[in-house]
Amino acid sequence: MDGQLSFFEAKKSLSPKIVNVASVPQRSPFRYPGGKTWLIPLVRKWLKQSDASKVLIEPFAGGGIVSLTAAFEKLADQIVMVELDHEVAAVWEIIINGDHIWLADKIYAFDLTPENANSILKKENKTLKELAFSTILKNRIFHGGIIAKGSGLIKNGENGKGIKSRWYPRTLRDRIMAIAQVKSKIKFVKGDAFDELAKIKNDKNTYSFIDPPYTVAGRRLYTHFEIDHDALFALTAQLKGKFMLTYDDTEEIRELAKKYSLNFRTTPMKTTHHIQKNEIIISDNFSWWN
Ligand SMILES: C[S@@+](CC[C@H](N)C(=O)[O-])C[C@H]1O[C@@H](n2cnc3c(N)ncnc32)[C@H](O)[C@@H]1O
């Protein structure tokens, strides 16, 4: 048995474990519904499959945890984040392309009361900076971080702390200031994932991390939830670079993978409501998987 795993140990090491999210550094200012923090250990392996210089594109950026991790951990030389939602995009515009110090200070100095929050949220014709701040505020004080229409203020929150239960001004300020340290590597594009992916589809050294909105829940979670999944598979299948496309494990998605002759693996995850389910990971190759 020297140096060999017993059958049970070998079997255990082959079955992917559920990642403890607390073990992954939180770098995003967002709490993101459907966020991929739990997938970070696999993303690291995927990005480390080659030492050659690479560009990472995250065309459905959301909270941007994959881009931020790659920037901090030097897993890619350049990073492109793309997001269509104008509220989410405003935050990235200010942090990556604008006056991040204004946003960090504004969050830190804000006196969070229901009255003050309402007056920020209700203001019409917001400037880009104001929109960025109100998006962070909403994301922190609305149920589940959901900023889409139909969502509402946290009522009791953690420990009965109400709207303050997810408002960590110092942490948010520190995260924004930390992101600013690596922002020269990051380009943020407010735009459509399909357009940006089409632009890089022949680039061999571009790695695409594609996490589109999906499932019935997408309707409640995001303002932009309707995308053409068949078209996304078709475009992904044309990419000359490496890719990782993630979805809930459903028959529809398995069928699409089959239709476009794309290989996949599944990995277990726990939802925010602690329900265990599987996620499908589609990739051009799986040499990086184990
Ligand atoms: C599943 S979420 C991404 C979550 C992200 N991976 C994270 O960990 O935070 C999908 C995101 O895609 C955005 N989105 C939807 N349609 C889009 C499109 N056509 N182009 C760019 N972004 C889009 C949504 O607004 C949402 O933020």
pLDDT for 14 equals 46
Distance CA 229, CA 220 (A): 18
pLDDT value at position 157? 54
Task: Return the bridge partners of 245, or none.
Answer: 210, 282
Tens digit of each residue's pLDDT (9 = 90 or more) over 174-220: 999 999 999 999 999 999 999 999 999 999 999 999 999 987 655 66
Residues 202 and 59: their CA atoms lie apart, in Å, by 16
CA 60 vs CA 42, 77, 171, 281: distances in Å: 18, 19, 25, 15
User: Which of 224, 225, 248 to mutate to test ligand 1, by most ligand atoms within 8 A of the CB atom?
Assistant: 224
Q: What is the DSSP string of 115-134?
A: HHHHHHHH-SS--HHHHHHH
Q: Are residues 243 and 264 in the same domain?
A: yes
CA of 82 to the centre of ligand 1 (A): 8
Which of 182, 204, 229 is the endpoint of a domain? 182
Q: Which residues of the chain have pLDDT under 50?
A: 1-14
Domain that holds residue 283: 33-84+191-290
Which of 136, 120, 135 lies closest to 172, judged by CA?
136
219 plus 259 within the same structural domain? yes
Among 148, 182, 216, residue at a domain's last position: 182
User: Which ligand 1 atom is nearest residue 65's CA?
Assistant: 8
The three-state secondary structure class of 161 is coil
Question: Does 16 map to a domain?
Answer: no
Give residue-wise pLDDT tens across range 47-62.
999 999 999 999 999 9
Whether 168 is in a domain gets the answer: yes
User: How many CB atoms neighbour CB 158 within 10 A?
Assistant: 10
Does the residue 290 lie in any domain?
Answer: yes
Does residue 146 lie within any of the structural domains?
Answer: yes
Centroid of ligand 1 to alpha carbon of 121 (angstroms): 22
Nearest-angstrom CA–CA distance, 76 and 60: 17
Q: Looking at the structure, do residues 122 and 252 belong to the same domain, yes or no?
A: no
Torsion of Cα atoms, 82 then 224 then 39 then 14, to 10°: -120
For the chain, the domain total comes to: 2
Q: Is 138 inside any structural domain?
A: yes
